[in-house]
Amino acid sequence: MKNFFIVGIFNSANEFISLIIFLTLSISLFHQQLIQKHSGQEENPALRCMSIAFICNAIVLLLRQIIHFEKYSGDVPTIMALFMVLQILFPAIYYISNKDESFIKGIKFFIGTMISMTIINLLGLLLIKLGISLSYLSISIVKSSVILILFGFTAAAIISFRTQLKENADRIYINKNHHYESGLFVTSLIISFFIIFQFLYKGVGHHYGPVVLTLTLINMFVFFRVSNCQKRRNTELNDELRRDSKLLKLEDSKANELKERLVRYFEKEKPYLNKDLSINEVSLYLYTNKTYLSKIINDNMGQNFNQFINSFRIEEVQRLFIANRNLSIQELCNMSGFGCMASFTIAFRIFLGSSPADWCKANRNQLDSNEETKRF
């Protein structure tokens, strides 16, 4: 009895360490998921699945600590210890033995299996706490089921892993992590087979705690793989954002430079005085194309090409009128580059808010009034 108690305490201590590790890893993965969501990235399936798996493991381990699992002996505690090993083993084996594509396709299977094993473990702990025992037949069926599940995990994992090995055999370069995965894959299976067959014939022994802790450490490897994968995705996203930012800055710089040359050309050369001026002529002079020039005018000045040249023509009308108030409206129209009186009138209403005649009359009176004031 004393030896059983000491072994129980030893196993419980290892489970407690595993609990702390799984809690820490699951919190870290959930935090990475939040960052991924807020950054607008595409969801990483492995991140979500491992978060669920690790929190499920942490919940079962926590409840085992709460009910002081080490105090109980018998067939039901032994069976629940087997299922605890299977639950901790499954995430690591599944992740290591499946490529990204296979993992994505099997998300529902993975989550369903983890939740099912968690429920089985919780029900088993409830039976233990309530002191309910199972019949010999039930115990035999459950033990057989555990062996079948383990062999099922193993067969599926080996098939998937062999497929990866064949694909990697055709490559000249193999990532060094693949060698680590191979070793961990084999190690996980060996220790799982060892502990499960020991349980079936001798019950829970002092090997249980180290096995649980070892499988937990193998899950830590999976955590680092998933985290590094997410880190690479974050780095790639940041690099892409930086490239886009540089391109935008370069584009803005080019746009501002062309805008300045355009305005300087219109102010110095006054091409708008040509009533037949076209965007093709302006783009040729500025060594650009008409589509890009039109986009610069639209985006940076909020106008189309005709509105842009008419704004300069209206300014020219104002200069001409101030210089010579005796010019007729038709003369102002012709001298400022407008092709016809209709477009001249429309431009006046758009830019100055009145007809040419009303504007000329109001400004003539204002200028005359200013001159009289200066004389006095």
Give the model's pLDDT for residue 22.
92
Structural domains of the chain ordered from first start: 2-242 (1.20.1070), 270-375 (1.10.10.60)
d(CA 114, CA 49): 9
Contact 25/220 with Cβ under 8 angstroms?
Answer: yes
What is the pLDDT tens value at each position of the chain, 376 positions in all?
Answer: 444 445 566 677 888 899 999 999 999 888 888 877 776 667 778 888 889 999 999 999 999 888 876 666 677 787 788 888 888 888 887 777 665 555 666 788 888 888 988 998 898 888 888 877 777 787 778 777 777 777 776 676 666 666 655 655 554 444 555 556 566 666 666 766 666 666 666 665 667 788 888 888 888 888 888 888 777 777 777 777 677 666 556 567 788 888 888 889 898 889 988 888 888 898 888 888 888 888 888 888 888 888 889 999 999 988 888 888 888 888 888 888 888 888 888 888 888 888 888 888 888 877 666 665 655 5
Give the model's pLDDT for residue 72.
67
Give the model's pLDDT for residue 245.
61
CA 52 to chain CA mean position, Å: 19
d(CA 9, CA 174): 43
Place of tokens 């989550």: 111
d(CA 367, CA 51): 79
Rg of the chain over Cα atoms, rounded to whole angstroms, equals 40
Residue 167 CB: number of other CB atoms within 10 A? 10
The greatest distance separating any two alpha carbons of the chain, rounded to the nearest whole angstrom, comes to 125
Give the model's pLDDT for residue 199.
64
Contact 353/365 with Cβ under 8 angstroms?
Answer: no
d(CA 39, CA 31): 12
Give the model's pLDDT for residue 1.
44
Give the model's pLDDT for residue 4.
45
Place of tokens 């005796």: 326
| List of residues 6+ apart from 314 with CB closer than 8 A | 336, 347, 348, 351, 352
DSSP assignment letter at 172: S
Vertex 329 angle, CA 323 and 335, to 5°:
60
Phi, psi of 118 (to 5 degrees): -65, -45
Contact 64/57 with Cβ under 8 angstroms?
Answer: no
Q: Integer distance in angstroms from the first to the last C-alpha of the chain?
A: 123
Give the model's pLDDT for residue 210.
81
Q: How many Cα atoms within 13 Å fall on the side-chain side of residue 156?
A: 17
d(CA 246, CA 272): 35
Q: pLDDT, tens digit, for every residue of 169-225?
A: 554 444 555 556 566 666 666 766 666 666 666 665 667 788 888 888 888 888 888
Give the burial string for 89-119 (b: 16+ CB within 10 Å, else e): bbbbbbbbbbeeeebeebeeebbebbeebbe
Ranges assigned E (strand) in the chain = none
Q: State if pTM tops 0.85.
A: no
Q: pLDDT, tens digit, for every residue of 104-127?
A: 667 888 888 889 889 988 988 888
Place of tokens 């799982």: 192
d(CA 163, CA 174): 15
Q: What stretch of H or E contains 267? A: helix 208-269
